[in-house]
Amino acid sequence: MARLLDQWRANRANGNGRRVPEYAALATAIRGLLRDGRIPLGVRLPAERELADALGISRTTVTAAYRDLRETGHLTSRRGSGSFTAIPGGQRVGSAGLWTPEDAGDMIDLGCAAPVAPAQFAEAVAEAANELPRYTAGAGYHPSGLPALRERIAAAFTGRGLPTSPDQILVTTGVQQAVDLILRLLVSPGQAVLVESPTYPNVLAALRAHRTRVVTSSVDPVDGWEEELLLAELRATRPTVAYLIPEFQNPTGHVMPHRLRSLLPSVAHRAGTDLIIDESFVELFLDEPTDAGAARPPVASFDAHARVLTVGGMSKPYWGGLRVGWIRAATPVIARLSALRVTVDMSGPVLDQLVAAAMLDRAGEVLAARRRELRERRDVLAGALRQQLPQWTFTPPRGGMGLWVELDAPVATALAQAAHEHGVRLAPGPLFGVAGTLERFIRLPFTLPGPDLVEAVRRLAGAHADLTRARPASWTPPSLVA
C-alpha cells in the first residue's frame, strides 16, 4: 500500500497554485488507487498507525484522510474489524427509488409519468402569497391540514356524489405519504396486503419497507379486473389491507366496472379488510364529457362500514412538485392518522397548501387543458408505436397518463437496459410487479411533448433492434418512477 502511494504528495498541488492539506492529498491518492482498481473493493486498509509509520507521516493525517474517505463513501467501518474499501453509491444497490440527477442530460425520461406544472401555477402562487399573512402570524402547525384546503377537498368529494365533511379529510404531503401513513396505522410487519398486479412501484416499495406480505390479484392488460377472482382472493386471503386503483389503473389504464365497485366494500368488510382506494388519476378521463366522473361512483359511496380509505392528490393532475395529497376516511380514523402524522413530520407546508387551494379553485380550466394535452400526446405516442414497433401491442387507455405495452418477447429488463444506452429512461414491467414477473411489459407515459415522444419511440426502435448486444454490468433500472 505504501509503495502504491509513493507519489501521493503530488496531489497537494490543486491546479490553481494553492496547496491542499496533506490529509486531503492522501485521501485523493487512495481514491485514485480505488478508481483504477489497484486497490480492490472490500479489502481492509492498514490500521492508521501502521500506514502513518509506513509513510512517515503523523497518525492525525492518516485519521483525517480515512475520515474524508468515509464521508465520500470510499471507506466503511465494521466495529472491531477495521476499515474496508468501498465505492460511493455501492449502498444504493437494491435500494428503491433513488433519484440520480447524473442520469439527466440528453436522456428522455419515460420512467416518470409526471407532467410539468400547469400555466395557472404562477397565478396560484401569487394568490397564495396574498393569503399567507393570515397564517404567518401563527406557529404554522396544522397537522390535519389547513381548514380552507380541507373544505375544498371535502366539497370536491361531495360534488362527486360522496357527502364529505372537512373532518373526514387529512391533508398529506402527497399521495405517497397518504399511503405510508395508512400502512403505519393499520398494518404490522408480516401481515398481508393485497395489491393489483401490475401496480404502482412506489407503493410496492412502501410495502417492502413496512415488511408486509404482498399478495397480488392480476389485472388483465386487455380485460382489466376479473371480478370473481378478486373477490374470491379477498375472501380467501383476508388481507389486512387491499390497495386498489379503480380509475385508469396504474399502469394498465383500466377503469373498474360499476358492479365491482359496489361489491368491494361489503366483501372487504366481511373479510376484515380495509380498502385503500387510490384516486390519483380520477380526474384524468380523456375521451368523455367533463361530467363523466359522475358516471363512476367512488368506491367509498358503497361503504357501509367505514372500511374505505380514499387517497388522492395534486401530483398527477396538477404538479408533482406541489406536495399535496389527502386521505378521506371516517372522522375517528382521520383523528388517529393526524395524531400519527405529528410523529412522522409534524405538519404539512402552509404555502404549498395555499397554492393547492388556489389551484383547486381553478380546477375547471386546469383539468380541461391537462386533458386536451394528454389526449393529444397519447394519440401521438400510440401512432408512433403502431408505425415503428407494430409487433408491440397495447389498448389505448380512456384516461390516465401512460400506455401499458405488451412486447413481442419477455425482454422488458434487457430492453430498458438497451434503451438507456439509446438515451431513453424506461420503466420495465417487473418494476410494477413482484418477483420479476411482467417481463413482457413496459409502461410508456405520454406526459412529455409530442416531438419528445416521437424521438423516444425512434430510440426505442433502435434499442429493440440491437437487443442482442452485451450490456454493461453497471446498469440499474430507473430509480424514480412516478
Q: Which is nearer to a copy of itself, 280 or 413 (CB)?
A: 280
Q: Which is nearer to a copy of itself, 173 or 218 (CB)?
A: 173
Cβ pair 176, 344 in contact under 8 A: no
Q: Is 13 helix (H, G, I), strand (E, B) or coil?
A: strand
Q: Which is nearer to a copy of itself, 185 or 367 (CB)?
A: 185
φ, ψ at 213 (rounded to 5°): -95, 115
Q: Which is nearer to a copy of itself, 59 or 398 (CB)?
A: 59
The C-alpha atoms of residue 442 and residue 302 are separated, in whole angstroms, by 34
Q: How far is the CB of 473 from a copy of itself (least distance, A)?
A: 19
Q: How far is the CB of 282 from a copy of itself (least distance, A)?
A: 19
Beta strands in 314-469 (DSSP E): 325-328, 402-406, 424-428, 441-445
Cβ pair 107, 425 in contact under 8 A: yes
Which H helix or E strand runs over 170? strand 169-172
Burial 61-70 (b: 16+ CB within 10 A, else e): bbebbbebbe
Within 10 angstroms of residue 90's Cβ, the number of other Cβ atoms is 12
Q: Is 244 helix (H, G, I), strand (E, B) or coil?
A: strand
Q: Which is nearer to a copy of itself, 213 or 440 (CB)?
A: 213
Q: How far is the CB of 5 from a copy of itself (least distance, A)?
A: 20
Q: How far is the CB of 96 from a copy of itself (least distance, A)?
A: 6
Q: How far is the CB of 11 from a copy of itself (least distance, A)?
A: 17
Q: How far is the CB of 120 from a copy of itself (least distance, A)?
A: 11
Q: Is 346 helix (H, G, I), strand (E, B) or coil?
A: coil
Q: Which is nearer to a copy of itself, 97 or 462 (CB)?
A: 97
Whole-number Cα distances in Å, 138 to 141, 172, 351, 356:
8, 20, 13, 20
Q: Is 78 helix (H, G, I), strand (E, B) or coil?
A: strand
Q: How far is the CB of 410 from a copy of itself (least distance, A)?
A: 27
Q: Which is nearer to a copy of itself, 247 or 303 (CB)?
A: 303
